[in-house]
Amino acid sequence: RSPGREPPTSVSRATSGRTGSSVEENIIVTLMPGKEGVFLFQHHNYEVASQRRGSKVIRRYSDFVWLLDCLHKRYPFRVLPLLPPKRVAVNGNHLSNDGAFIEKRRRGLARFLNALVRHP
Establish if 80 belongs to a structural domain: yes
Contacts 24+ apart (CB under 8 A), 99-107: 102/31, 102/44, 103/31, 105/61, 106/29, 106/30, 106/31, 106/46, 107/29
Q: What is the pLDDT of residues 94-103, one digit of tens each?
A: 667 778 889 9
Establish if 112 belongs to a structural domain: yes
Least-confidence region, from 1-10, 27-36, 45-54, 65-74: 1-10
Residue range of the domain that includes 107: 23-118
Q: What is the pLDDT of residues 45-94, one digit of tens each?
A: 999 999 888 999 999 999 999 999 999 999 999 999 999 988 877 766 66
CATH no. for residue 87? 3.30.1520.10
Whether pTM exceeds 0.85: no
Q: How many domains would you assign to the chain?
A: 1
Establish if 2 belongs to a structural domain: no
Establish if 6 belongs to a structural domain: no
Establish if 113 belongs to a structural domain: yes
